[in-house]
Structure 1
């Protein structure tokens, strides 16, 4: 499902964020990428999502080469193939929960009726359906992360990327989101999770790899 081959990405004059890194993720696998701050974890996710491009090497997602795409093509790739969950949720506070979840479908051009039905079903399945007309600022951290996951799943992407999804949460909410990620994998989602939290990795990943100084250590 995901294949990075000998990928290097450097910024300015510093050492490479990724240095000849290779990683394969099979369909239906849940992989946790562990490493300290500055080890290249977020760069890895950005390359998979087509938000960044390598200086050398190739990145393939769901059979599509993304490393040479234009920005327009990469945006279309993300809408159709990638769901992203972030540490700080990135929900729009001036929109309701339902409106936030509907955004990816609107960008992809799905019919409003079908999109609204899917948004309601996702929010219900994730235990936050009663908050559909609420604005995100009124929710707890764990609830907002559930809304963010619903948004990420809106367009049925084959790949879910999670960047420190419990980093902004207290321990109870973090355990809740870890359980959610485990359930998503059990439902067949392919997940790449980056974190510095070994407990999170052990709770919801079937395989762990480590990044250090931009290199994948296995």
Structure 2
């Protein structure tokens, strides 16, 4: 599903954000990228999402050479292949919950009716269907993150990328999102999770990959509940 080969990303004259990183993720895996601030986690996620390009190396996702895409190609790739979940939700405050969820589907060419049906299905599954006509500002943090997950899944992406998805949530809401990620993985969704929270990584991931100073410092399998296997 994901294959990075000798990926380096440099900005200006400073040290590279990533240095010669190799990473392979197979379909159906849930992989957590761990590391302190400045370790290169978000840079790695942006390269896989096609939001940035490597200075050197190759990035392939589901058969697509992401590093070779132009701006328009990157946008099409994200709509077709990738669902993105961010720490601060990135919902549009002037659109209703339903419209936030259906927007990516309509941009990808899905009919309005089909997009609305898919949105209702997802919002119902995620327990926030009653908020379909509300605006995001009226929802709790946990509810907004559930809406963000619904938006990320609307086009049935091959890959779900989550960048610190519980970082802006209280403990109870964070636990709800943790259980949601576990359920999505059990259903076969490929997930790449970027976090500094070791407990979240161990509870949701089948592998943890550690980055330090832009380099891979560890890669270990877990049983998805913190036990080595």
Report the TM-score range of the alignment, normalised by the length of the smaller protein.
Answer: over 0.9
In structure 2, the partner of 1:130 is 130
In structure 1, the partner of 2:141 is 141
Equivalence map 1:1-218=2 (5 Å): 1-217=1-217, 218=219
RMSD: 0.5
Instruction: Say which SS state the counterpart of residue 67 (structure 1) adopts.
Output: helix
Instruction: Say which SS state the counterpart of residue 68 (structure 2) adopts.
Output: coil
Kindly report structure 1 stretches of 4+ aligned residues shifted beyond 4 Å: none
Q: Which runs of 5+ in 2 are unaligned?
A: 220-229
Deviation at 1:171, TM superposition (A): 0.9
The CA deviation string for residues 144-177 of structure 1, in whole angstroms up to 9 with x for no partner, is: 0000000000000000000000000011111110
**Quick one: distance in 2 between partners of 1:187 and 1:142?**
21
**Greater relative CO, 1 or 2 (CA 8 Å, sep 6+):** 1
Residue correspondences, number: 218
User: What TM-score results when the alignment is normalised by the length of structure 1?
Assistant: 0.99
Deviation at 1:25, TM superposition (A): 0.4
User: What TM-score results when the alignment is normalised by the length of structure 2?
Assistant: 0.94
